[in-house]
Structure 1
Amino acid sequence: MALRCAFALLKQDAEGKEFIERIVKRVHALSYHIRTYFWLDFQQLNSIYRYKTEEYSNTAVNKFNVIPDSIPDWLFDFMPIRGGYFIGNVSPARMDFRWFALGNFFTVLSSLATPEQSTAVMDLIEERWEELVGEMPLKIAYPAIEGREWQIVTGCDPKNTRWSYHNGGSWPVLLWMLTAACIKTGRPQIARKAIELAERRLSKDGWPEYYDGKLGRYVGKQAKKFQTWSIAGYLVAKMMLEDPSHVGMISLEEDKAMKPVLKRSTSWSC
């Protein structure tokens, strides 16, 4: 998003030309890398499941030497036939398969995702509504980590116990990002459904910062009340639904001149 905004702001003069050329190259490389190696759908999951390891040539399919046995059990049930998302991280021999709301919504809003991938992200939310939306929109990450993994990743942080705060908690502020992504992809009905859920409790509960539990049923154990961003997230979401043109202030359309060429299909839903 920062690179795309810089590209739009720079003057088309001698001084700006060098930076513009650098930005275009950087966006090409970044977009190709994220769209290719961070994207996960049913087809790609099945390919990873069948990966061979210890491949070292330029023709290697498993470029990061990911061991198929590292795929978590929850993912096989979570991944629908229709839909997909960008995973949390890719590193040698390991992939973080968790869903992160902020990253996925901003890939849509910045056009880092292809139109097909953006559609698939919305499909996933519909297909996994209970897990990602539940009773209070919206999960910041899914699923929660617990046990030994929670101890290692969070340092035994008591605020980040499972299904709380940043560890699978539900954050009303995410409503505006969900709504913006829904409008951009032509799916405003998803946002309306989420906003209706929030309206049942947000005001009654005193506009808390976050909610706890698998379904977001409980006000967060350390959540502060009357949070400005909880209120603002709801108001911005409502305003964008009333006037979808507002989305243009926070969304970038795909720039054909900066569009990288993908060498393989990116989504089962294409």
Structure 2
Amino acid sequence: MNERPSTSRATEPLHATRHCFAAPRFADESVVLADAYRLLDDAVIRYQGHPVGTMASLDPRAPADNYRDCFVRDFVSTAFLMLLEGRSEVVREFLALILRMRGQQEELEGQQIAPGVLPASFRVVTLDDGSEELSADFGDRAIGRVAPVDSMMWWTVLLRAYVRFTGDTAFAHTPEVQRGLRMILSLCLQSRFEVFPTLLVPDGSFMIDRRMGVFGHPLEIQALFDMTLRAADLLTVDEGSHWLIDLAATRRQVLRDYVRRYYWLDLDVLNEVHRFSTEKFGHDIDNVFNIYPESIPDWVPDWVPDNGGYFVGNLGPGRIDFRFFSQGNFLASLSGLATREQSRLQMQTMADRWDDLIGQMPVKLVYPAVTGSEWRLMTGSDPKNTPWSYHNGGNWPVLIWPMVAAAQVAGRQDLGERAYRVAEQRLMKDGWPEYYDGRHGRLIGRRANLHQVWSATGLLLARHLLEDPGRLAQLALTEDEDSAPRSGRGQGERGGGRA
């Protein structure tokens, strides 16, 4: 067995100056935080002399060259950090740059991608004459050739954060930004063969970028959809957008009532599902989706806490995906898609199932892993998504910041601090891995990149939030009391209705 080379960067000399981040921002900045900043600085991508993004990974052994790209979803945590540390001009340039690349969309299988879709990633290419050009990937270079759905949503979340933090409404009101925002909202709100208010997407179109049985209406996309609809408040009120603003507000209210009612699971709801009658017709029935009680997985009855709850991962006719999807649950609490009581119960689930969901590295992306014949059928025998690895039950350090944010919304700062301490102990020592393997996240991911940038920025952003929870509101990540849609069934209740 070959000896694994050391992945620690702690013994390397620190940079004398920072590329994008000035002085250390924390009074007691540790060696770990200093190393995270150094990794971030080394990953900065420049275009025409100006920083415009960060590479996904600096691992020279990365299996694919697109890890040198700037991914939209990866950069968001860096962008939040830049806003908090006085580099808002980089965020503005990134937002504008992504819009300018819309014209690079290529036809896939002879069909043009919808114009509201933004690139998953981009790179700066140096030509023979020394000039630079931008090259965007809309899924045409991706594994499986799946166009990203979440890029446009994260872009709108970041846009709203930028405007709220800087007060730069003039940027939001430029024709280019207004046009881009209208295209995104129009794409999300267009009529489909759908009776549900949730957004239909395929497998592999968001953070879980491989086949994992998340097709349909995955929770993460619904939470991002809710946050995207909130960005309609950046549209100028005129004849061309008034209808879109009204439609977004209406859809958001219906979406929230629906998710709070039908996606919520606690022990009371589980008992209802366990006793469901099936094959019922009409409006006034409990089992709206014709869920068969026999479809409840064996692990669920003993896993759902007595005094906790969470949002299931997916829902559709005859189907509940009972897996715990961390990103979707955290974003639901952060944005206000969850009621305050649901947020509190979700964090109680984190506390009661700490070994399963946190273990030795925050946070497990999906619990539990799919195994055996289910794994073969669901993933297509994907060798990267073997049980308890990658997106099939791997632990992802970047999730530390949304976990800390959700804990603060729920009034459980203690859980955020506890998770942060777990992450801080290992990440630098292990070389900032992309993800961890194993039921409890004890092993560095078998195929994980090292020096993964969002593993570092997730920790840095979490530290900022722990020092000042008010930064969530400064970044427009929490719900505004004066702009929140009136909540429907579930507000103030123990649960949110029937799953």
TM-score (norm: length of structure 2): 0.52
What corresponds to 1:21 in structure 2?
A: 246
**Are 2:258 and 1:33 equivalent residues in the alignment?**
yes
C-alpha distance 98-266 of structure 1, shift in aligned 2 (>3 A): farther
Residue number among 365, 378, 386 corresponding to 1:153 in the alignment: 378
C-alpha distance 12-18 of structure 1, shift in aligned 2 (>3 A): same
What corresponds to 2:231 in structure 1?
A: 5
**Are 2:489 and 1:262 equivalent residues in the alignment?**
yes
Q: Secondary structure at the match of 1:73?
A: coil
Q: Secondary structure at the match of 2:265?
A: strand
What corresponds to 1:67 in structure 2?
A: 292
Residue number among 412, 416, 421 corresponding to 1:191 in the alignment: 416
C-alpha distance 128-257 of structure 1, shift in aligned 2 (>3 A): closer
Structure richer in helix, relative to its length: 1
**Does the aligned pair in 2 maintain the 1:90–1:96 contact within 8 Å?**
yes
Q: Secondary structure at the match of 1:96?
A: strand
What corresponds to 1:116 in structure 2?
A: 341
**Does the aligned pair in 2 maintain the 1:43–1:267 contact within 8 Å?**
no
C-alpha distance 215-195 of structure 1, shift in aligned 2 (>3 A): same
What corresponds to 2:457 in structure 1?
A: 232
Deviations 1:104-150 (A, max 9, x none): 01111111111111111111101111110011111000000011111
**Does the aligned pair in 1 maintain the 2:342–2:495 contact within 8 Å?**
no
Q: How does 1:136-215 map to 2 (within 5 A)?
A: 136-215=361-440
**Are 2:341 and 1:107 equivalent residues in the alignment?**
no
C-alpha distance 264-114 of structure 1, shift in aligned 2 (>3 A): closer
**Are 2:275 and 1:47 equivalent residues in the alignment?**
no
C-alpha distance 254-58 of structure 1, shift in aligned 2 (>3 A): farther
Q: What is the rounded CA distance, in whole Å, between the counterparts of 1:108 and 1:168 in structure 2?
A: 21
Name the aligned partner's letter for residue 433 of structure 2: P
Q: What is the rounded CA distance, in whole Å, between the counterparts of 1:37 and 1:184 in structure 2?
A: 22
Decide which structure has the larger Cα Rg and report it: 2
Q: Secondary structure at the match of 1:244?
A: coil
Q: CA deviation at 1:35?
A: 0.8
Q: What is the rounded CA distance, in whole Å, between the counterparts of 1:213 and 1:235 in structure 2?
A: 25
**Does the aligned pair in 2 maintain the 1:85–1:120 contact within 8 Å?**
yes
Name the aligned partner's letter for residue 314 of structure 2: N
- The unaligned stretches of length 5 or more in structure 1 are none
Q: CA deviation at 1:257?
A: 5.5
Q: CA deviation at 1:9?
A: 0.8
TM-score (norm: length of structure 1): 0.94
- The unaligned stretches of length 5 or more in structure 2 are 1-226
Q: CA deviation at 1:268?
A: 5.0
Deviations 1:208-246 (A, max 9, x none): 111000110001101111110101101110111112222
Q: What is the count of residue pairs matched by the alignment?
A: 268
Name the aligned partner's letter for residue 229 of structure 1: W
**Does the aligned pair in 2 maintain the 1:184–1:247 contact within 8 Å?**
no
Q: What is the rounded CA distance, in whole Å, between the counterparts of 1:263 and 1:200 in structure 2?
A: 39
**Does the aligned pair in 2 maintain the 1:81–1:268 contact within 8 Å?**
no
What corresponds to 1:252 in structure 2?
A: 478
**Does the aligned pair in 1 maintain the 2:472–2:478 contact within 8 Å?**
no
Name the aligned partner's letter for residue 199 of structure 1: E
Percent sequence identity is: 46
**Does the aligned pair in 1 maintain the 2:431–2:450 contact within 8 Å?**
yes
Using CA pairs below 8 Å that are at least 6 residues apart, which structure has the higher relative contact order? 1
Q: What is the rounded CA distance, in whole Å, between the counterparts of 2:332 and 2:417 in structure 1?
A: 21
**Does the aligned pair in 1 maintain the 2:342–2:494 contact within 8 Å?**
yes
